[in-house]
Structure 1
Amino acid sequence: MRGDRPVGVVLLDDHPVVLAGIEHWYTSSAHPIEVLAKGRDVSVALTGPGRDADVVVLDLQLSQGGPAYPELKHLVVHQRQVVVYTMKDSPETALTCLDLGAFTYLTKAEGERHLVAATLAAAQGVPYTPPALAGAFGSDTRRSRPALTTREIDVLLEWFKSESKVMVAESLGLSVRTVNTYLDRVRIKYANAGRPASTKAILVARAVQDGLVSLDEL
């Protein structure tokens, strides 16, 4: 997001009323947010005007089937910033979405303020934790160490071996903003696990402790 340039968004939801409501909220935002494409098929985020969007807002229930995890994975593979916006208030579902690479997760009950804030944060690559997600983090007793996604581990290990985030971005074919987003997400996960890692040195120590990397590899 640069200056006053509108943030471009794709809305993926199968309810026209929801789509219209979100678009209305965006037109009222202090920073301009423009809906470039909308629909129920993930292809609208990957073709046409949707390709240029900064953020994809994804409803997790796009059909009568199960959660839209395959669609979320597909968007993440294409390096899209995905805000999951759903009726499902489930800590387990929220954490699963983050593990799959979602930027953040919020429920439709959390409303306009949090959705607009999450959208702007995603466009800037600045972590955003709405109340439902904070509650999910607080109740996560699944493991003693944070569950990092494969991509988060890739970025983390590449950063350990590189002199700068620019080099990481070039090596992995990402933008520097995306690299920062992944590293910020790793830090948040460690902080919520009670093992904060505010510096690169501490992150290295955490990675060694968790078996992600050996000292011989550094």
Structure 2
Amino acid sequence: MATGDAITVTMIDDHPVVLAGAEHWYSTADPPIKVVASGAGVETAWTPPGDTAAVVVLDLQLGGRPPAYDELRRLVEAGRQVVVYTMRDDERTALTCMDLGAFTFLTKAEGEEHLIAATAAAAHDRPYTPPALAGAFGADTAPDRPKLSLREEEVLIEWFQCESKELVAQRLGITPRTVSSYLDRVRVKYANVGREARTKANLVARAIQDGLIDVGDL
């Protein structure tokens, strides 16, 4: 896992040149990001040392098979932070990955800067929305929107813009426990309409889709 400045990654991609290139990018990051395991199959993330990494970087298209949505779902359900990193750049694929609980969605065309930034954000559970995903959100109609109270929206937006629940509590004049209660209610409401949001990053994605906040406000 991420400890202090040390971020660990498991990379899953069936193109050796992609694995080698990404590992080089990570090694030159500041601070460096360590690839603890890499391979062409999702089993890399389930076996040592890949099962200990803070972040899983997953290519959707492995071995010419259909998109690895089932594998993505399993990783998310196990509590892993997954950055989808793929040649696919269509909006439907991006939104499907986010609906399944991916931390974020990157196209390989977005390159070194966004891969490093997204990986660091995932390790520390800080929201990150790269350009392709922002475009997909802008095109999404998201019909199943939960009905949030004004106070729930206020707490949610403050949390996106603060480092901690304690700071949200100070700004709104409530207790950290009350902040947690509001956020739990929001998560339940999203789950009830079939749009689960387990992490802060997932909640940010939902809020952008639903027009509660703009990418530029983060």
Aligned equivalents of 1:66 and 1:42: distance in 2?
A: 14
Gaps of 5+ in 1: 147-155, 157-161, 169-179, 197-218
Identity %: 56
Distance 1:132 1:181 in 2: 22
CA distance in 2 between counterparts of 1:66 and 1:188 reads: 25
Task: Map 1:81-100; keep pairs closer than 5 Å.
Answer: 81-100=81-100
1:57 and 1:28 mapped to 2: Cα distance?
A: 17
SS in 2 for 1:48: coil
Residues 187 and 113 of structure 1: CA distance in aligned 2, closer, same or farther (over 3 Å): closer
Are residues 1:190 and 2:207 paired? yes
TM-score when scaled to structure 2? 0.71
Unpaired stretches in structure 2, ≥5 consecutive residues: 147-155, 157-176, 185-196, 214-218
Q: How many angstroms does 1:164 deviate by?
A: 6.7
The alpha carbon displacement at 1:44 in A equals 1.2
1:51 aligns with 2:32: no
The Cα offsets for residues 124-179 of structure 1, whole Å up to 9 and x where unpaired, read as 00010000000000010252627xxxxxxxxx9xxxxx75759x7xxxxxxxxxxx
Q: Would you identify which runs of 4 or more consecutive aligned residues in structure 1 move more than 6 Å?
A: none
Work out whether residues 127 and 181 of structure 1, in 8 Å CA contact, stay in contact via their aligned partners in 2.
Answer: no
Report the equivalent of 1:3.
4
Inter-partner Cα distance in structure 2 for 1:75 and 1:145: 25
Look up the match of 1:209: none
- The size of the alignment, in residue pairs, is 170
CA distance in 1: counterparts of 2:27 and 2:72, whole angstroms = 26
Distance 2:32 2:9 in 1: 11
Q: Using structure 1 for the length normalisation, give the TM-score.
A: 0.71
**Which secondary structure does the structure 2 equivalent of 1:138 belong to?**
helix
Letter of the structure 1 residue corresponding to residue 91 of structure 2: P
